Amino acid sequence: MSDHTEKFDEQTLTEHLRELRGCLIYSFVAVFIGFCLSYVVIRPIGTWFFKPLTEVLPDNTSLIFTSYQEGFFFI
């Protein structure tokens, strides 16, 4: 048996739960940071994505969205 496996077998339930809690906290922090970074760059990405379409639209018009979820992603 490797050293890591022996250490894993010797842990009590509370040690396992403490390790799980630490992993969950790191995961939630990573997801939150990823969400914040994505939220910051969604406007430039949306502008770049819709630029070819907005260039050919007639003057004084804008894009419309036919369902709620379509507009939500690029507001």
Once rounded to an integer, what is the mean pLDDT over residues 22-33? 97
The mean pLDDT value for 35-63 works out to 86
Whether pTM > 0.75 for this model: the answer is no
Mean pLDDT, residues 48-65 taken together: 83
Predicted local confidence at residue 5, as pLDDT: 60
Instruction: Check residue 50 and give its pLDDT.
Output: 82
DSSP secondary structure, 15-51, as one string: HHHHHHHHHHHHHHHHHHHHHHHHHHHHHHHHHHHHH
pLDDT for the residue numbered 30:
98
Cα gap 48→69, rounded to integer Å: 19
Residue scoring higher pLDDT (37 or 64) = 37
